Structure 1
């Protein structure tokens, strides 16, 4: 994981306004969000075809209301780049049985906290953060 110092850290606005500014840049709220926090994710390697992905993530924390509600007030955290790697074959660690097949239909992500991130993705992520800083500078 590579953190990126940015002026967007600490910016507060409504979930709807921030989403409207970030969505056209390819950011989407990740599916694993809770009502208290989540991440605006943007894949950095959209043109690559391989079994892992690099993402720029901007953390979002609920200040008033719930993440996902357009009028909720949220605060942005420090952006970072992460390598999120998935197995592209069957997960041989999975349980066997009908219940397992219904619940564990996808492979587990591989641990990537210590994964090296190529300068190409760091540069692309940093440039994207600079663009976001310009787009949301009026919210400070």
Structure 2
């Protein structure tokens, strides 16, 4: 599910600053980063619903190589997905996400958005 209500898609920022902001809000760098692309993932388990949910914020390098602090990256549209064992995370628009997970995702993105604009 794409989450499009935020100002940071297409925002350009230094990787070091973005990394600090995302880590301060509980995100970790996804395992499949390379020198051009990176994802920041936030795991959100829900005891009342089987599966684990992930909020993912992708970015890609436009000047320099990841993971150098001075590299300029462009942030892309955040995604909300659900993990299905053993297949992985599904980000489909037809997924039925619990309201509290969607709200938590939107709140988290709003606080990140505020800090990016400071």
TM-score after normalising by structure 2: 0.85
Asked if 1:122 corresponds to 2:102, the answer is: yes
Match of 1:82 in 2: 81
* Structure with the higher strand share, 1 or 2: 2
Give yes or no for contact 1:65–1:73 (8 Å, CA) kept in 2.
yes
Q: Which residue of 2 aligns with 1:25?
A: 25
Q: For structure 1, which segment, 47-56 or 120-129, has the greater mean C-alpha deviation from structure 2 after superposition? A: 47-56
RMSD: 2.1
Provide the C-alpha distance between the structure 1 equivalents of 2:34 and 2:72, rounded to a whole number of angstroms: 14
Give the conservation status (yes or no) of the 8 Å contact 1:12–1:74. Answer: yes
Paired position in structure 1 for 2:114: 134
**Secondary structure class of the residue paired with 1:130:** helix
Match of residue 35 from structure 2: 35
> Does the 8 A contact of 1:84 with 1:112 survive in 2?
no
Gapped runs of 5+ residues in structure 1?
A: 88-107
Aligned pair count reads: 117
Q: TM-score scaled to structure 1, two decimals?
A: 0.73
Please give the alpha-carbon distance, in whole angstroms, between the structure 2 residues aligned to 1:66 and 1:52: 34
Larger Cα Rg: Structure 1 or Structure 2? 1
